[in-house]
A and B are shown apart, each in its own frame.
Chain A
Amino acid sequence: MKGRLAIFAAVWCGMAFGSAVAGEKGSASGPSPSLPDDYSCKVCHWKDGELWNQETPTVSESELADDIHWQVGLRCHDCHGGAPSIEDYENHRTDESFHAIASPADIPGFCGRCHSKIEYMRRYTPSARTDQETEYWTSGHGQRLKESLEEKKVDKDVATCVDCHGRHGILAVNDPRSPVYPTHVGETCARCHSDEKRMAGRTYHGRPLGHDQYEQWQQSVHGQALLKKGDLSAPTCNDCHGNHGAVPPGIDSVANACGSCHAKQAELFSEARMKHRFEEIGLPGCVTCHGNHRIVQPTDEMLGMAKSAVCSRCHSPENEQYGAPLAGGEAAAAMRKAMEDLKQQIAEAQAKLAEADRLGMEVSGPRYDLRQAVDALTNARSLIHSFSLDRVQKALKEGLDVATNVNKRAEDALREHTYRRIWLAVSLVPILLVVTLLILYIRTLPIPEPTSPHEADR
């Protein structure tokens, strides 16, 4: 090694010679201050470094420019350890202060050295979280990594920090270009989870992992809201599975995952008898009816006992499952019926209001009130999750009363319009009377013949 060091020293002398040029080059490369000339890593890991060769992994300043760590002033040695200046340089393999990454299993600890230390992290952000590493080891990824470590055969396909966040050039998580920004999370997870080969043979708690989750989620109401409408509040992978501690939610926790946004439905469901029955049987909440990754916009078709309805999957005499009572099916059918009644009333009222509007009648009052009926319908749709016919019917009844009333007022407005026509006809009477009388009167007035006696010509 001594020989190499000597070469190194010679090279360094040469470099000192052309330091002015190098310094200029560095200052022109970007907004962040470039590395000092005697920065040890540069010599081998810069592509134009003096001792670089084909086998040495490289990184360039331009790759690092957007890195959040680089931007706050951290340099290679702050993460990788070792001596920053060539003078103090020692071989990686013997240098105690160098943090080697021998396998993916070393990465969580590598990042965690700073990210798990609140005293350190506070310097950069006052409310930093430092539980990512701990969380990671509880995640499906972390567990598998740990397991493989114990087997002494590190599973290199398991995701660690860098697989999602990137290696060099790690962007801040709120940077829209970041792979973990809400709009990109799906693709990022899909890099592995949609890879059929990589997912083959993998299981979680005995169940195969599958590889179509991303594809399904893209078609879901959530995926559409996020990807098409750009609604950043729409959930992507990590909103249900967690991020650093990513695992599929368990049967008993699915409802809580959904309930973090769909609070009202979750609350109603948690009080429903159905929930306890589901738990007894081992059916997950929410998912049993709505599906998991491909959750489409729920429709009223899902309710009731028709073929398309989810209730009929268990509560019908044809395919009775899990001891589901047939009475439940009747209740579902009754709910659906009441709901359709209200919808029909609302549609009728809307059509009549539109017609009245078109005819120039004032219907903004009833139109405003109709909002209540629509709200009642929305309310009833969430109340379905209580699985209580009484509650649903009560809500629908309120809406129905409003809608019926609006319907009546819209009809009144239309009738009023008819009256207008009648009154018009009445007002035409004097006008036409005047016309008739005028014509009669004109006929009594002969045209005087002042000068021209040539009537005979006509």
Chain B
Amino acid sequence: MSLAPVSAQGEKASWKQRLKAFFVERLGLEAVQSLAAKKTVPLHRCTPFYFLGGMALFLFLVQIVSGILLALYYKPSPDQAFESVRAIMTEVEFGWLIRSAHSWSANLLIGILFLHLLTTYMMRAYRRPREITWITGVLLLALFMAFGFSGYLLPWNQLAFFATRVGTAIVGVVPGIGHSLLLLARGGEEVTGDTLARFYAIHVVVLPLVTFVVLGIHLYLVQKHGMSIPERELARYGGPERVPSMPFVPHFLLRDIVGWYLALALLAALAALFPWELGEKADPFGAAPEGIKPEWYFLFMYQTLKLLPPYIAGFEGEVLGVLFFGLCGLVVLVVPFLDRGPRSRAVLNGLAAVAVAFFVVMTAWAFFPNPEQKVACIMLGTLLSFVSLTLLVPFADQRTPAYRLLIGLLGLLGLIFVGAAVWELIA
């Protein structure tokens, strides 16, 4: 990548230039060059949100590289899966780093994707003609959650084994085709070595292929339509052509790289300070261990299904729960078509606010289920709420009641968080 226009510097530079010319001529890079030169990024209050997509892309690259490296030593069989992961963690040089980086960046990626989805929704970037971009984006989120679910089993440890058993059992409650889906997911009635092989194939072959296709469409569409500008900003500047912008190369890209480097630093720190645990080898015939939990991004579903009564109005609670989440997914997928005017928008916004609050509360609850951990639960909940509310700040004009309410809420959440932290420290 060119960090700066190449300045003529005698021999060396001309050699470089000739090499560059060689490739430009043969690969037809002029098109790319002109595209890059023309591409601009609008500058307004919500510009920071544009970084989230690039950040997700970077983390996905980290996933690809670290995933390929792990595949060099990993063996997908129940006899060897756990041992090979243990060998990666303990015997292969820097294996602990690679595996921890893979796991941590997967979690960061999902987190970033959630934020990306939320901010895109808030900017209403799915407006015509970007409906397909939105749909592919939601599909990508689903794909990455599937990545997470299938990858969770691969170390073949107790937690993963039983979480997968529970997770695939949930698929089984879908009315009608549930059992067939369960058999398809598990490759048998039970979670066995075949399930492991299946999940491995899905994780390293099927999902990457599908993801490349969907991601390709997503990125193409982003290039084609350019960045979407929120209506409020358009109104503020009086038309799309009057919104200030900066060139993508190098201005925006450099800022992107700053973000990537910060993510890299965070990843390295997390991997070194909190290496991903290995747990104990799965014992299919043993009793389920205490505290089996899925990954954090499934916790809200897990907690809801746990809380549902066995029967609601004559229907099985679990079935209703699964259908409900299926419906939610569908609603999110078709949001661009549901948004048909100010009234439907108000309904959607209300639903979104409820959904975010629901997600925050359930995740915090499931993360710290014990009554003694109430303070920690409150801290996590306020932190998550704080983050989601912060996203709203660019949308509120200063000195309006809405803005004051928002700031007030943020202040309140901050106070609760600090108070809880102090309480935790004292007690």
Contacts and interface: CB of A to CB of B under 8 A. Distances in A.
Interface string B223-240: 000000000000011000
Nearest to B236: A457
B264 A452 contact: no
B414 interface: no
B43 interface: yes
A171 B237 CA distance: 100
Nearest to A439: B258
Given A452-B237, A457-B236, A447 B90 contact: no
Interface stretch (A88-96, A357-365, A390-398): A357-365
Given A360-B90, A455-B244, A442 B272 contact: no
Contacts of B278: 360
Nearest to A445: B251
Contacts of A359: 275
Contacts of B277: 358
Contacts of A435: 258, 261-262, 265
Interface string B100-121: 1000000000000000000000
Contacts of B246: 447-448
A451 interface: yes
Contacts of A431: 261, 264-265, 268
Contacts, number: 74
Contacts of B244: 447, 449, 452, 454-455
A421 B243 CA distance: 46
Interface of A is mostly: helix
A439 B40 CA distance: 19
Contacts of B425: none
Given A424-B269, A428-B265, A442 B254 contact: yes
A360 B275 contact: yes
Interface string A348-385: 00000000001111111000000000000000000000
A450 interface: yes
Given A428-B265, A428-B268, A445 B237 contact: no
B40 to A, nearest CB: 8
Interface in A1-41: none
A442 B258 contact: yes
B339 to A, nearest CB: 28
A315 B277 CA distance: 52
B341 to A, nearest CB: 29
Identify the 6 closest CB pairs spanning chains A and B, nearest first: A362-B90, A424-B272, A447-B246, A360-B96, A360-B275, A452-B244
Given A438-B257, A448-B246, A449-B244, 8 more contacts: A424-B268, A428-B268, A431-B265, A434-B261, A435-B265, A447-B247, A452-B244, A454-B237
9 contacts: A362-B91, A435-B261, A438-B261, A439-B258, A441-B254, A442-B254, A452-B242, A454-B244, A457-B236
